[in-house]
Amino acid sequence: MASGQQITAWRPEVAGVVEVFHARFTEHAYPMHVHEAWALLIVDEGAVRYDLDRHEHGIPSDTVSLLPPHVPHNGSAATPQGFRKRVLYLDESQLDRSLIGAAVDSPELRDPVLRRRIGQLHTALGRPGDELEAASRLALIGERLRGHLRPRLADSPRPADRTLAHRLRELLDAHQVEGIVLEEAAARLGAHPTHLIRAFGAAFGIAPHQYLMSRRIDHARRLLLAGHTPGETAVTAGFYDQPHLTRHFKRVVGTTPGRYVRSRRA
């Protein structure tokens, strides 16, 4: 690795995300190039400048940049200390080609809510076992991006559908251990993923991924109190591994599974 460079890249198990790319560069400059996928970019330190369709643009730390596929662009640091960025490469299931022209015209989006959600999605994508959360966050991000690129044609909010929400809850209960991907749930229930998420939240005051994790935590507590080890509990209750159980258990219960076990009264 060259001096001043730090790179991490992976392909998550979340439909629609081709690649996650985190990088810190001090000297590297990208030549003109194209991508097959949409590049959704945020800068955490420094700033980036780039040319897109023969127009110069910049990305400060409070801005989201959306670079469309097949359109040449370059990139380099706009500050002496370089820059640190996080990029999501999204396929056309998230943003279709009809939006390329609008993205070329306005690649920078000053939207604090969108930027915060993108950061939360990066966090979820870096945690194996949290794919439902990541897919839910991605669906809402896609909806907001489409709203920016074609505001008059964006998905309009619809009233909460309590029947749909209850059907989704039944589906989550039935797949508590093995889980279910958001796209499959949407296909089974005949609803768009974003509408499914909003209907569930409106009906129950909690996101689908939070509900599923709560059910798993309850299951884990019963297993731990019955004498199962944290490692056994993680597998049986539907967690990716023991660290995955520990992270969510501590967030919900306020202590680790090990300490919880040791606190049992004889």
Q: Which domain holds residue 226?
A: 211-262
| pLDDT at 158 > cutoff 70 | no
Are residues 16 and 97 part of one domain?
yes
pTM value?
0.78
Residues 31 and 123 in one domain: yes
Number of domains in the chain: 3
pLDDT in tens, 94-123: 999 899 999 999 899 999 999 999 999 999
pLDDT grade for 153, boundaries at 50, 70 and 90 = very low
- Are 65 and 138 contained in the same domain? yes
Distance CA 97, CA 186 (A): 23
Structure-block tokens of residue 43: 């800068």
246: CATH:
1.10.10.60
Gap between the Cα atoms of 213 and 248, Å rounded: 8
- Give the pLDDT confidence score for residue 151 in this predicted structure: 67
Q: Do the Cβ atoms of 24 and 6 come closer than 8 Å? A: yes
Q: What is the mean pLDDT of the chain?
A: 88
pLDDT tens for each residue of 216-226? 998 998 898 88
Looking at the structure, tell me whether residues 200 and 121 fall in a common domain. no
Q: Does residue 155 fall inside a structural domain?
A: no
Query: According to the model, what pLDDT value does residue 78 have?
Result: 83
| Domain boundary residue, one of 125, 149, 173 | 149
Answer yes or no: do 242 and 135 share one domain. Answer: no
Model pLDDT, residue 160: 53
